[in-house]
Amino acid sequence: MESQEKDHVVGIDIGGQTIKLGVVDARGEVLAQKVIKTSDDPSPEVVVSEIAEAVKTLITESDMKGRIRGVGVGAPNGNYYTGTIAFAPNLSWASHGSVEFSKMLSKALGGIPVSLTNDANAAAVGEMTYGVAKGMKHFIMITLGTGVGSGIVINGEVLYGSDGFAGELGHTCAVRHNGRMCGCGKTGCLEAYASAIGVARTAREWLEMSDAPSSLRNVPEITSKDVYEAASQGDELAKKVFEFTGRILGEKLADFIEFSAPEAIVLFGGLARAKEFLYEPTLKAMNENVLPLWKNKVKILFSQLKESDAAILGASALAWEL
Amino acid sequence: MESQEKDHVVGIDIGGQTIKLGVVDARGEVLAQKVIKTSDDPSPEVVVSEIAEAVKTLITESDMKGRIRGVGVGAPNGNYYTGTIAFAPNLSWASHGSVEFSKMLSKALGGIPVSLTNDANAAAVGEMTYGVAKGMKHFIMITLGTGVGSGIVINGEVLYGSDGFAGELGHTCAVRHNGRMCGCGKTGCLEAYASAIGVARTAREWLEMSDAPSSLRNVPEITSKDVYEAASQGDELAKKVFEFTGRILGEKLADFIEFSAPEAIVLFGGLARAKEFLYEPTLKAMNENVLPLWKNKVKILFSQLKESDAAILGASALAWEL
């Protein structure tokens, strides 16, 4: 069995709630997958061994023993250079320090090589390998989820910068004065506005500040999904929340274009599902705020990858480089 | 003579007022140089032939005939990919369209290869080859002159992006609401505040808005040099102008760090001479606005290259790659 070609990889997406694992072939087919709950155990050793067990089970069940070339991992605050996950607020076992995740997981898997990056960079690699950015050398991936992440691709490669942490566009400043407090400790970050949490917060603030009628007034704990559903049913206030969100996002996209002159911006993640409400205001604000030379030239694309596969695909694509 | 080694290059820096030319050896010594007035002739053909004549004279006078490997040019809106200078507002002969400068100059020089980029990118290459960024793989050059330019270095290479125009950081948004009109047609650009023109404008606005005493009240047409001299003599208002300028610059530097995670920011240009007044407020604002992981980690450096040589050196460094 050991002599078989190592023509498959494993992708692992580590999130605050769940960990998704999948076996992927060279054409980007997810042949088998598995979801486990993200452990709240505070010990990295325990968590790594849980993940390793899940990987081994998946490999055995899919009859891929000896055929796995490597494992790619996307994780919050994952560092490509060092293979560590450091100070990840949503992961109990990595919130207070730096965990040598790649090394530990590789050891627990009997030496299968492991490559690690942050989740947004993994998404960018997946989009470039299998998605709408296929063939592009210069694009910026923005993940609009609970937070706002980014993966920047330059000359066909993810930008890691001098320390492996480049591409924290969710924490560039969107609102300079009296900006909202962000989870990172700064104020006015893009993430505080253009994330799922930001959208819900905008809706709640506006409901409080105005008397405008809205079906959202009947919702006890408003989430971005509620705002999306209200907008879909024609709720004016909900639609304006997305307009506002798109404007803030588009203004910052203009800045990003002036930095790296990408062919396209690719939007991905839960909030990107509100394409019908986000696209126009984002594009408009982007084009209004960018230098004339880029006006109406840079595309805004929405990821077409199936959400459940995309995270696994992105992470797995890393493993091909091992 | 033609059999001699081609071990020298020519650097040309094209500015709105003057064109600087120099013959440079492999160690970065400017062996001979020349300054000519930037032509206000509207014909690119006339201007290119004037520049070619100056280059030929310089080569002959410095006894370098047959020993020039290539010519590097830094010019406003110069495009590395296409070798064109396009819509450069300060150049009469290139303000209304696109000029195939590299091709035309190479032809006029009997086939010596010509490489072109914008002036800030050329400065970045010069700094990386001969200056304070020697050995650095990731840094951002900010040129604080009449305008604000930038050259972004990633993995040891200038970032050109999908179209050759990446790195227009002077036109990212520094002041979102009621921002100043910028020369580019947008409002609130960094350039409208952190340039020589921006500094003079801040001083004029503050003198008008307040009754604060200042020696600048006696100056008829205030320039950034006047503000610098007043600050040097202890003028409080002038010092505060630089504090304000540094704060705006530092706030944007934080955004740039979150994009590309550089080792350092290198400041260059006329305004960077006001280091004693700019450094502290810029560094403070940068560290206050950047994610904790980069706080107090990214250096702000000031170019040490002799200003008259730097532009020529930067442009010439391009020619070594030819």
Spell out the per-residue pLDDT of chain B, length 322, in tens: 445 688 999 999 998 889 999 999 988 899 999 999 988 888 999 999 999 999 999 999 999 999 999 999 999 889 999 999 988 877 888 888 899 999 999 999 999 999 999 989 999 999 998 899 999 999 999 999 989 999 999 999 999 999 999 999 999 999 999 999 998 999 999 999 999 999 999 999 999 999 999 999 999 999 999 999 999 999 999 999 999 999 999 999 999 999 999 999 999 988 999 999 999 999 999 999 999 999 999 999 999 988 778 889 989 999 988 7
Contact B176 A176 (CB under 8 A): yes
Chain A CB contacts of B164 under 8 Å are 261
Chain B CB contacts of A148 under 8 Å are none
A179 at B interface, C-beta within 8 A: no
**Residue B269 distance to chain A (closest CA, Å):** 20
Give residue A233's pLDDT.
98
Chain B CB contacts of A159 under 8 Å are 154, 260
| Residue of chain A whose alpha carbon sits nearest to that of B175 | A176
Give residue B94's pLDDT.
86
Give residue B100's pLDDT.
97
Report the DSSP pairing between strands A18-25 and A30-37.
antiparallel
**Residue A22 distance to chain B (closest CA, Å):** 30
Q: How far apart are CA A8 and CA A70, in angstroms?
A: 8
Give residue A1's pLDDT.
45
Which of A87, A169, A175 faces B258 most closely, judged by CB atoms? A169
Q: How far apart are CA B291 and CA A77, in angstroms?
A: 13
Which of B165, B175, B261 faces A166 most closely, judged by CB atoms? B261
Which of A164, A168, A262 faces B258 most closely, judged by CB atoms? A168
Chain B CB contacts of A261 under 8 Å are 160-167
Instruction: Give the 3-state secondary structure of residue B45.
Output: helix
Interface test with A, best of B80, B142, B162, B177 (most A CBs within 10 A): B162
Contact A173 B87 (CB under 8 A): no
Which of A164, A184, A259 faces B166 most closely, judged by CB atoms? A259
CA nearest neighbour of B150 among B60, B275, B266: B266
CA nearest neighbour of A39 among A22, A53, A56, A19: A19
Q: How far apart are CA B132 and CA B305, in angstroms?
A: 8
Chain B CB contacts of A251 under 8 Å are 173, 176
Q: How far apart are CA B115 and CA A34, in angstroms?
A: 53
Contact A291 B263 (CB under 8 A): no
Alpha helices in chain B (DSSP H): 44-61, 101-108, 119-130, 191-194, 196-209, 224-232, 236-260, 275-289, 307-319
B25 CA to centre of own chain: 22
Give the H or E element holding residue A316.
helix A307-319
Contact A162 B186 (CB under 8 A): no
A158 at B interface, C-beta within 8 A: no
Per-residue pLDDT tens for B2-17? Answer: 456 889 999 999 988 8
Residue type, B127: E
Interface test with B, best of A172, A184, A186 (most B CBs within 10 A): A172
**Residue B258 distance to chain A (closest CA, Å):** 5
CA nearest neighbour of B279 among B318, B242, B234: B242
User: Residue B101: which residues within 8 A CB-CB, separation 6 or more?
Assistant: B44, B48, B73, B75, B78, B83, B84, B85, B94, B114, B116
Q: How far apart are CA B121 and CA A269, in angstroms?
A: 35
Contact A159 B154 (CB under 8 A): yes
| Residue of chain B whose alpha carbon sits nearest to that of A293 | B165
Q: What is the pLDDT along chain A (322 residues), one digit of tens a residue?
A: 445 688 999 999 998 889 999 999 988 899 999 999 988 888 999 999 999 999 999 999 999 999 999 999 999 889 999 999 988 877 888 888 899 999 999 999 999 999 999 989 999 999 998 899 999 999 999 999 989 999 999 999 999 999 999 999 999 999 999 999 998 999 999 999 999 999 999 999 999 999 999 999 999 999 999 999 999 999 999 999 999 999 999 999 999 999 999 999 999 998 999 999 999 999 999 999 999 999 999 999 999 988 778 889 989 999 988 7
Interface test with A, best of B152, B260, B287 (most A CBs within 10 A): B260
Cβ atoms A89, A30 nearer than 8 A: no
Give residue B4's pLDDT.
67
Contact B161 A152 (CB under 8 A): no
| Residue of chain B whose alpha carbon sits nearest to that of A174 | B176
User: Residue B128: which residues within 8 A CB-CB, separation 6 or more?
Assistant: B134, B136, B139, B153, B156, B317
Which of A167, A176, A262 faces B162 most closely, judged by CB atoms? A262
Instruction: Give the 3-state secondary structure of residue B239.
Output: helix
Burial class, B213, CB count within 10 angstroms (exposed 0-12 / middle 13-18 / buried 19+): exposed
A89 at B interface, C-beta within 8 A: no
User: Residue A306: which residues within 8 A CB-CB, separation 6 or more?
Assistant: none
Count Cβ atoms below 10 Å from residue B176 Cβ, excluding itself: 17
B178 at A interface, C-beta within 8 A: no
Q: What angle do CA A79, A65, A121 make, to 5 degrees?
A: 20
Chain A CB contacts of B255 under 8 Å are 172-173, 255
Give the H or E element holding residue A193.
helix A191-194
A161 at B interface, C-beta within 8 A: yes
Burial A49-59 (b: 16+ CB within 10 A, else e): bbbbebbeebb
B171 CA to centre of own chain: 14
| Residue of chain A whose alpha carbon sits nearest to that of B254 | A172
Q: How far apart are CA A195 and CA B155, in angstroms?
A: 31
B305 phi and psi, to 5 degrees?
-70, 140
Q: How far apart are CA A118 and CA A138, in angstroms?
A: 19
Contact A161 B154 (CB under 8 A): yes
**Residue B313 distance to chain A (closest CA, Å):** 24
Count Cβ atoms below 10 Å from residue A157 Cβ, excluding itself: 14
DSSP states along B21-35: EEEEETT--EEEEEE
What are the distances in angstroms from CA B304 to CA B126, B127, B134?
Answer: 11, 9, 12
ipTM of the complex: 0.93
CA nearest neighbour of A120 among A166, A187, A70, A185: A166
Chain B CB contacts of A255 under 8 Å are 172-173, 255
Report how many Cβ contacts below 8 Å link chain A to chain B: 106
Instruction: Give the 3-state secondary structure of residue A307.
Output: helix
Contact A154 B154 (CB under 8 A): yes
Report the DSSP pairing between strands B18-25 and B30-37.
antiparallel
What are the distances in angstroms from CA A298 to CA A169, A254, B55?
Answer: 18, 10, 39
What contacts 24+ positions apart, CB below 8 Å, involve B291-296? B291/A168, B291/A171, B291/A184, B291/A186, B291/B258, B292/A184, B292/A185, B293/A87, B293/A165, B294/A165, B294/B257, B294/B258, B294/B261
**Residue B220 distance to chain A (closest CA, Å):** 33
A210 at B interface, C-beta within 8 A: no
Is the backbone of residue B296 left (phi > 0), alpha (psi -120 to 50) or beta?
A: left
Contact A294 B159 (CB under 8 A): no
